[in-house]
Structure 1
């Protein structure tokens, strides 16, 4: 239990706010497992919502699926839809939104899915049932509305792939043609 609660501690080294938010999140997470835990946790969930969402300005619902090693950089104005799925060792900066789309008929789209080792710059907006691959970096201010493949860098509004990362050799490969910029999605 102790290792579960503190699984993000090392990732947020030197980041007290990130450490506090992630410990509180991991403590609240069992409430989403079944109805008994939810009822038992109601007072804590009220405390979690008040402290994390209202005072710290980080919307991270307790039912969100978040992998080990989640880092919150400058945790301010961070909005993560509760149905989003976040992989291991992800790095999210301030003013980032992971959300869904509300359609005219009142229904909603799926929420974003982030792979492992994803790094998001500040003010990144990922909207809809978008899948972000593993080992991806998304530049500040990017708006992502389409899937991003593994091992690349994406920037812009709308976001497009500008570089592929050769993970085996550690070499960055720039995109050279318009066709490569819009590579197949995952």
Structure 2
């Protein structure tokens, strides 16, 4: 079956499932193989910051701002459903599962080994092979610490900080610091010092 990327993304962005053994799943697999080719190029030799931006642009299919910075290695199993703002920094060893959509606002910092996961499997054993997408939306001026995992459907509000090692299972309010497994609000930014 021939499928357009636009139709595939519309399906996922509408939150519709990708059923096991479907044409949609086959198309998803083809995109994953394409993403692996580009990330292998990105990750296996040194590239200048401009070359990194060029490869990332190829990976996501959209031009990124010259202020965008990424330290490889970087991993994704799609790439085509990532949108990044200006002055975004992504540190080394991050893994973005972006089929459900990832939006990263301006002036956001993402630490080492962050996982952004936008797909879930069906809970019923007979539906376990199906995939259910939900977007991750990250606001502006957000700082996500090292080794954080963000689960499908989460929105992280503007100016929020997510402490290292946290697992974010629900929305993070703007102007808060969250941490833990699962992540919980520790304090509001206005109350926080630099400790």
What's the TM-score, normalizing by structure 1? 0.61
Counterpart-to-counterpart distance in 1, 2:74 and 2:182: 26
What do residues 49-81 of structure 1 show as CA deviations (whole Å, max 9, x unaligned)?
xxx9xx8343381441111111022x12x1112
Please name the residue that 1:79 is paired with: 95
Counterpart-to-counterpart distance in 1, 2:62 and 2:89: 21
Match of 1:127 among 147, 151, 157: 151
Greater shift in the superposed pair: 19-28 or 97-106: 19-28
Contact between 1:69 and 1:90, CA under 8 Å: does it hold in 2?
A: yes
What's the TM-score, normalizing by structure 2? 0.59
Deviation at residue 22 of structure 1 after TM alignment: 3.2
How many residue pairs end up in the alignment? 131
User: Quick one: higher RCO (CA 8 Å, sep 6+), 1 or 2?
Assistant: 2
Counterpart-to-counterpart distance in 1, 2:149 and 2:102: 13
Unaligned ranges ≥5, structure 2 = 1-46, 64-69
Counterpart-to-counterpart distance in 1, 2:82 and 2:110: 15
Counterpart-to-counterpart distance in 2, 1:152 and 1:81: 25
Counterpart-to-counterpart distance in 2, 1:123 and 1:22: 23
Counterpart-to-counterpart distance in 2, 1:161 and 1:17: 38
Please name the residue that 2:141 is paired with: 117
